[in-house]
Amino acid sequence: MSKLVELIQHGGKGKPRIWRIWVEGDRVFTEYGSQGGKMVPTEDVPGSKGKKGTKAYISPEEQAALVMERKVKRQRARGYVGLDEEPVSDIEWDGPLPSSLRFAKPINNAPKGFLEENAEKILWTPKKNGMCHLVTRIGPRIYIQTRDKMHDVGDWFPHLKREFFDVMPSMSIVMAEIVVGRGRTKKDFLAMGSISRSKAERAQLIQRDNGGVNAYIFRVPFWRGVHLEADVSCAGLLEHMAKLPETEHISAAPVFQGNYKEVCKELLKRRYEGFVGYLAKGVYGDESYNFKGREDRPKVAWKLRLSQVQGGRATEDDFVACWNPAGKGMHCSSSCHYPSTGDQSESESLGRCGVCKKKLVPDGTWGTGRYMEKVGSLSLYQYDEEGVSQYIGDVSSGLTAADKTKLADPELYPLCVRVSYKDRDYVTDGGRSNALAHPTFEGVRKDKEWTECVNPDL
Ligand SMILES: [Zn+2]
How confident is the model over 205-252, as pLDDT tens digits? 989 887 899 999 999 999 999 999 999 999 999 999 999 999 999 999
Q: Which amino acid is at 370?
A: R
Q: Which CATH architecture has domain 5-82?
A: Single Sheet (2.20)
pLDDT score of 314: 53
> 257: how many CB neighbours lie within 10 A of its CB?
14
Q: How far is the CA of 345 from the centre of ligand 1 (A)?
A: 13
Quote the ligand 1 centre to 32 CA distance (angstroms). Answer: 23
Query: Could you give the 3-state DSSP secondary structure of residue 205?
Result: helix
pLDDT greater than 90 at residue 104: yes
The secondary element (H helix, E strand) that includes residue 208 is helix 200-210
DSSP assignments along 361-404, one per residue: B-SSEE--GGGTTSEEEEEEEEE-TTS-EEEEEEE-TT--HHHH
CB 212 within 8 A of CB 159: yes
Which of 187, 186, 195, 197 has its CA nearest to residue 213? 195
Give pLDDT, residue 440: 92
Among 252, 250, 308, which Cα is nearest to 275's? 308
- CA of residue 297 to ligand 1 center, whole Å: 29
CA distance 132 to 175: 7
CA–centroid distance, residue 359 to ligand 1 (Å): 8
Residue 113: CB atoms within 10 Å = 8
Res. 352: pLDDT tops 80: yes
- What integer pLDDT is reported at residue 312 of this predicted model? 46
pLDDT of the residue at 184: 75
388 falls in which pLDDT band (50, 70, 90)?
Answer: confident
Could you say which architecture CATH assigns to the domain 102-312?
2-Layer Sandwich (3.30)
What is the Å distance from ligand 1's center to 347 Cα? 9
pLDDT tens digits, one per residue of 124-151: 999 888 889 999 999 999 999 998 888 9
**What are the structural domain ranges in the chain?**
5-82, 102-312, 316-452
Share of the chain above pLDDT 90, in %: 49
Q: Is the confidence at residue 166, as pLDDT, over 50?
A: yes
Per-residue confidence (pLDDT) for residue 436, from 0 to 100: 92
CB 348 within 8 A of CB 355: no
pLDDT > 70? residue 387: yes
What does the pLDDT read at residue 35? Answer: 86
329 Cα to the center of ligand 1, angstroms: 12
Q: State the sign of the Cα–Cα–Cα–Cα dihedral 260, 457, 286, 448.
A: negative
Check if the beta carbon of residue 204 is closer than 8 Å to that of residue 158. Answer: yes
Taking 50 as the threshold, does the pLDDT of residue 313 lie above it?
no
Query: What's the pLDDT at 213?
Result: 95
Do 318 and 445 touch, CB atoms closer than 8 A?
yes
Determine the distance separating the centroid of ligand 1 and the alpha carbon of 356, expressed in angstroms.
4
CATH classification (class only), 316-452:
mainly beta
Q: How far apart are the CA of 444 and the centre of ligand 1, in A?
A: 28
For residues 263-269, give the mean pLDDT: 81
**Candidate ranges 260-274, 340-354, 388-402; pick with highest mean pLDDT:** 388-402
**Residue 57, CA atoms < 13 Å, CB-side half-sphere:** 6
Find the 364 Cα to ligand 1 centroid distance in Å: 17
Mean predicted lDDT score pLDDT of the chain: 88
Among 147, 138, 140, 134, residue whose Cα is nearest residue 162: 140
For residue 90, name the pLDDT band (cuts at 50, 70, 90).
confident
CA distances from 49 to 42, 113, 315, 349, 457 (A): 21, 51, 38, 23, 38
CA of 78 to the centre of ligand 1 (A): 30
- pTM for the structure as a whole: 0.66
CA distances from 299 to 105, 261, 445 (A): 10, 22, 26
Name the most confidently modeled range: 24-38, 332-346, 390-404: 390-404
Statement: residue 336 has pLDDT above 80: yes
Between the CA of 344 and the centroid of ligand 1 the distance, in Å, is 11
Distance CA 291, CA 298 (A): 15
Span from the CA of 42 to the centroid of ligand 1 (angstroms): 19
Q: What confidence score (pLDDT) does residue 410 get?
A: 92
Q: For 64-81, write each residue's pLDDT tens digit.
A: 999 899 889 888 877 889
Count how many Cα atoms sit within 13 Å of the Cα of residue 396 in the half-sphere of its side chain.
11
176 and 216 Cβ atoms separated by less than 8 Å:
yes
Q: What is the pLDDT of residues 404-431, one digit of tens each?
A: 999 999 999 999 999 988 878 777 766 7
- Given pLDDT bands bounded at 50, 70 and 90, which one contains residue 311? low
